[in-house]
Amino acid sequence: MGFVDVTNPYNSRQVRRVSLLPEDVDVLVFWTRDPQNILAGAEELTKRGFRFYVMVTVTGYPPALEPDMVRATDALSAMKELARKISPERVIWRYDPIFLSNVTGIEFHRENFKILAQNLKDSSTRVIISMYDKYRGSQKRLEGMERAGELRLFEAGEGLTELLGHLAESAGEAGMEIQSCARKEDFSHYGIKPGACIDSGLITKLWGLETKGKDKNQRPNCLCCQSVDIGNYGICPAGCVYCYAW
């Protein structure tokens, strides 16, 4: 039909129609936990004249935290195939949020990140990280698990600074640039620079397009350029207990 109707999550009576005609769209930026559908449609998107890149979140956390998440091996396999089709620069790995608990402690993240990064070597040139932020819904779920004895939550401590250095090192070994997402903290001394998901620099590099500057409607530390969000809350089937979006 060439358009999508987007409902304001805070006001269901407010609906905005957004054109999806190729001539009206500069770039499509996809966020996903499961890139298999995008992989299946990549050739069709290209045929129709869409410019796009894909950000895939793969954390490899235990099932208790991600009960219905696609298997990491399947997500990684799809990312590799997608990179062969559209180039590694257009397949961005997200390792976020970095969530600290008794089952996802510092050592877990060191080893887990390194394994995932090596799996994606030559299939992605960038990884974006962020720390877990406490949202009311997700925190309520996590604290409920803690009360039930299913989980023990950790606060970020001194070990976090050491971890960040290891993540940057592992990313470099896999040939990836590592960036942070919407953080007020400065991680640049670990080799982690502030990044943008909807990245004006990347868009210009890939397609020579000029963007309209920083999106003022996003969080203060978000560096994304202006865009239109057509996503909806509560539709992801992964059921991650730490997620803010359900």
Measured in whole angstroms, how far is the alpha carbon of residue 166 from the centre of its chain?
Answer: 20
* Number of domain units in the chain: 1
Beta bridge partners of residue 28, listed in sequence order: 52
Q: Has residue 139 been placed in a domain? A: yes
Nearest to 90 by CA among 62, 126, 60, 63: 126
Q: Has residue 95 been placed in a domain? A: yes
Q: Has residue 245 been placed in a domain? A: no
Q: Residue 13 corresponds to which amino acid?
A: R
pLDDT of residue 12: 85
CATH number at residue 62: 3.80.30
DSSP 175-226: T-EEEEES-SS--GGGT-EEE-SS-HHHHHHHH------B-TTS-TT--PBS
For 170-203, how does the pLDDT look when each residue is reduced to its tens digit (9 = 90+)? Answer: 999 999 999 999 988 889 999 999 999 999 999 9
Q: Has residue 38 been placed in a domain? A: yes
Residue 49 burial (C-beta neighbours within 10 Å; 0-12, 13-18, 19+): exposed
pLDDT of residue 101: 94
pLDDT of residue 116: 98
Q: Has residue 221 been placed in a domain? A: no
How far apart are the C-alpha atoms of 184 and 129, rounded to whole Å? 13
Q: Has residue 196 been placed in a domain? A: yes
What are the tokens at 151?
Answer: 């989980």
* pLDDT tens by residue, the chain, 246 residues: 689 999 888 888 899 999 999 999 999 999 999 999 999 999 999 999 999 999 999 999 999 999 999 999 999 999 999 999 999 999 999 999 999 999 999 999 999 999 999 999 999 999 999 999 888 999 999 999 999 999 999 987 768 888 999 999 999 999 999 999 998 888 999 999 999 999 999 999 999 999 888 888 788 889 999 999 998 877 888 899 999 887
Domain of residue 9, residue span: 3-207
Residue 153 burial (C-beta neighbours within 10 Å; 0-12, 13-18, 19+): middle
pLDDT of residue 88: 98
pTM: 0.94
